[in-house]
């Protein structure tokens, strides 16, 4: 005899299929309630739900009635036992022969069970995510095919709810992650010290940090706000970071601003105040200048003393022996000329200079300096050898000052050479080179070479190379030194950058 289905109202049925959104926190309640309703609906004596845990295993998540005897940590392995076979095949099974009902999740299955429905829970892609098991005790009527059909329909709804819970949970955790990342970002931005704005593609500020808000509310600060749209526009146009130094004369403050385009559109703008840094730099420059002036004063006093002593002795000689006046007045003139050129050198160093650029031939300038200096060098027994490798076109240079550089380098080379040695000067397109075979220099000397007042000569000023470098720098060129102790030295001056 087949037992009649209990009379359930339509509401109860809908209740069973109720699918209000389930989140991970109340999925347990949903499973418990749904399982209880199922057991009751099918007039079963027990039921259980296993859900996926890992690649091949399912763990017990809910149990009811007679199946409460299942241990809490009961599991199903894919392919093992009836439940495992259902989980693997994805096909629901109705078992109404107790002898066929073997081990169920580690519990001797056929103890008192007469009939059982084992239904897979599958996600929309038909991947099994769990197993629903409903059973009747011995003595109760066995399940029929119609029961299985209903159970399968129900399982589809349970699967959806479980899937939803998973989605809701994932959404919640990604929300939480975003919230955490956002909180960290805000904290980082607020503590960077500088002002940071995020603007959208239309240049509207969509986010800003605390220092940015503070800066905007400061009275009188105008230029940062005015510079922002300009920077953003350039950054977006170039697809690259744009930097600018912004000075606000109204408040006498300076900012370093940077706009970086974002791939998602818009840009990040940062402003870092550098007023204090700028002031310190200026102060440092002033201190450095004062130190140089101090050094220069000492050097001037030292340099002037020698010729002055010579002049005084000569004057004394003339007073004591008026007959040798002519000879000593020559000496006086010579010392006076030395003083004069000393003055020139000091003035050249001290004076802020402006270049007087003209189109001139580098070869011509080098040649005339070498010719002038050659006469003096012959007296010292040093020959200056000039090779013009490539006269090149005329270039924009300050001829007088470049002549001075050539003079300083050739004179140093002659001074470093011994009688009988050669100084080799070469000129090419936009460059020249002065090579000597004198003593050469150790590394320490090379490092100090361009410092003002560095000299190893008794009557040197130590200004020749310092001034030369200033001149070459002003032309946008560079001076390269190669020197080997005991071998010689080569200075190469490049005025026009090589074209690649
Ligand atoms: P000064 O010639 O008045 O000493 P410079 O600035 O011209 O000042 O040169 C600085 C120092 O560099 C020299 O005193 C010398 O020690 C070193 N120096 C410059 N050129 C050469 C060179 N060609 N060979 C060896 N030493 C050199
Ligand atoms: Mg010199």
Could you tell me which CATH class the domain 10-170 is placed in?
A: alpha beta
Q: What are phi and psi of 203, to 5 degrees?
A: 85, 5
DSSP output for 465-480: HHHHHHHHHHTT-EEE
Tokens linked to 486: 């005991």
Could you tell me which CATH class the domain 358-494 is placed in?
A: alpha beta
For the chain, which residues make up each domain, given as ranges? 10-170, 193-273, 283-349, 358-494
3-state secondary structure of 7: coil
Q: Which residues have their alpha-adjacent CB atom under 5 A from ion ligand 2?
A: 412, 464
Query: What is the structure's pLDDT at 498?
Result: 47
Q: Which residues contact 241 (CB under 8 A, 6 or more apart)?
A: 235, 258, 259, 260, 261
Query: What is the structure's pLDDT at 107?
Result: 45
Which of 407, 422, 434, 465 to mutate for ligand 1's pocket (most ligand atoms within 8 Å of CB)? 465
What tens digit of pLDDT does each residue of 406-422 get? 999 999 999 999 999 99
Query: What is the structure's pLDDT at 277?
Result: 93
CATH of 283-349, one of 3.30.1280.10, 1.10.1740.10, 1.10.287.130, 2.120.10.30: 1.10.287.130
C-beta of 261 in contact with ligand 1 (< 6 A): no
3-state secondary structure of 138: coil
Q: Which residue has the tokens 């300083």?
A: 408
CA distance 187 to 211: 12
Tokens linked to 364: 């011509």
Q: Which amino acid residue places its CA nearest to atom 13 of ligand 1?
A: 455
Cα 168 to chain center, whole Å?
A: 37
Which pairing describes strands 195-199 and 267-273: parallel, antiparallel, or unpaired?
antiparallel
R_g of the chain, CA atoms, integer Å: 48
CA distance 385 to 378: 11
Query: What is the structure's pLDDT at 452?
Result: 84
> Which residues of the chain register pLDDT less than 50?
1-4, 6-7, 105-109, 498-500
Q: Which residue has the tokens 């066995």?
A: 142
CA distance 497 to 295: 34
C-beta of 141 in contact with ligand 1 (< 6 A): no
Query: What is the structure's pLDDT at 9?
Result: 57
What tens digit of pLDDT does each residue of 60-90 get? 999 999 888 888 888 888 888 888 888 889 9
Ligand 1 atom nearest to CA at 488: 24
C-beta of 303 in contact with ligand 1 (< 6 A): no
Which pairing describes strands 422-428 and 383-388: parallel, antiparallel, or unpaired?
parallel
Of the candidates 151, 167, 124, 159, which has an alpha carbon nearest to the alpha carbon of residue 24? 167
Tokens linked to 147: 């029961």
Cβ-based burial of 119 (10 A; exposed 0-12, middle 13-18, buried ≥19):
buried
Query: What is the structure's pLDDT at 102?
Result: 54
Query: What is the structure's pLDDT at 225?
Result: 92
Pinpoint the alpha helices (H) of 121-144.
Answer: none
CATH of domain 193-273: 3.30.450.20
CA distance 126 to 361: 86
CA distance 55 to 270: 48
CA distance 268 to 199: 6
Query: What is the structure's pLDDT at 436?
Result: 97
Cα separations in angstroms, 415 against 211, 345, 447, 483, 487: 61, 17, 19, 15, 15
Query: What is the structure's pLDDT at 403?
Result: 95
3-state secondary structure of 63: strand
Q: What are phi and psi of 387, to 5 degrees?
A: -120, 125
**Domains 10-170 and 358-494 equal at CATH topology level:** no
Residue 468 CA: which ligand is closest?
A: 1
Count Cα neighbours of 354 within 13 Å in the Cβ-side half-sphere: 1
């Amino acid at each position: 005899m087949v037992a009649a289905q209990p009379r359930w109202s339509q509401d109860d049925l809908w209740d069973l299929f109720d699918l209000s959104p389930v989140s991970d926190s109340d999925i347990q309640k949903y499973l418990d309630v749904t399982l209880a309703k199922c057991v009751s609906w099918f007039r079963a004596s027990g039921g259980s739900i296993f859900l996926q845990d890992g690649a091949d295993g399912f763990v017990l998540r809910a149990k009811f009635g007679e199946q409460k005897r299942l241990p809490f940590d009961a599991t199903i392995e894919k392919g093992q036992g009836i439940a495992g076979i259902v989980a693997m095949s994805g096909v629901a099974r109705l078992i109404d022969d107790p002898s066929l009902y073997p081990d169920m999740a580690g519990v001797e299955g056929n103890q008192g069970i007469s009939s059982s429905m084992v239904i897979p829970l599958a996600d929309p892609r038909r991947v099994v995510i769990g197993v629903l098991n409903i059973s009747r005790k011995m003595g109760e009527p066995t399940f029929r095919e119609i029961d299985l059909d209903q159970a399968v329909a129900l399982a589809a709804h349970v699967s959806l709810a479980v899937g939803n819970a998973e989605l809701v949970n994932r959404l919640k955790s990604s929300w939480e992650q975003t919230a955490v990342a956002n909180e960290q970002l805000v904290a980082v931005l607020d503590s960077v010290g500088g002002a940071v704005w995020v603007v959208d593609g239309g240049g509207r500020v969509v986010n800003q940090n605390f220092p940015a808000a503070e800066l905007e509310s400061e009275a009188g600060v105008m230029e940062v706000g005015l510079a922002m749209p300009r920077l953003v526009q350039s950054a977006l146009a170039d697809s690259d970071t744009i930097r600018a130094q912004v000075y606000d004369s109204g408040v006498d403050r300076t900012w370093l601003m940077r706009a970086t385009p974002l791939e998602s559109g818009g840009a990040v703008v940062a402003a870092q105040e550098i007023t204090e840094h700028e002031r310190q730099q200026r102060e440092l420059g002033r201190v450095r200048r004062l130190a140089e002036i101090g050094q220069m004063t000492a050097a001037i006093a030292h340099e002037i003393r020698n010729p002055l002593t010579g002049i005084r002795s000569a004057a004394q000689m003339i007073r004591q022996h008026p007959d040798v006046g002519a000879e000593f007045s020559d000496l006086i003139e010579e010392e006076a000329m030395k003083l004069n050129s000393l003055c020139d050198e000091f003035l050249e160093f001290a004076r802020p200079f402006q270049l007087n650029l003209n189109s001139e031939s580098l070869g011509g300038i080098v040649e005339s300096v070498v010719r002038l200096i050659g006469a003096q060098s012959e007296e010292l027994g040093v020959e200056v050898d000039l090779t013009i490798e490539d006269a090149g076109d005329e270039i924009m240079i300050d001829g007088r000052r470049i002549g001075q550089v050539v003079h300083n380098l050739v004179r140093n080379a002659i001074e470093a050479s011994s009688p009988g040695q050669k100084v080799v000067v070469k000129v090419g397109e936009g460059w020249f080179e002065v090579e000597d075979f004198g003593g050469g220099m150790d590394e320490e000397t090379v490092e100090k070479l361009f410092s003002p007042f560095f000299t190893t000569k008794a009557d040197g000023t130590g200004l020749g190379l310092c001034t030369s470098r200033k001149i070459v720098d002003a032309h946008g060129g560079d001076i390269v030194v190669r020197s080997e102790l005991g071998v010689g030295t080569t200075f190469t001056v490049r005025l026009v950058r090589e074209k690649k």
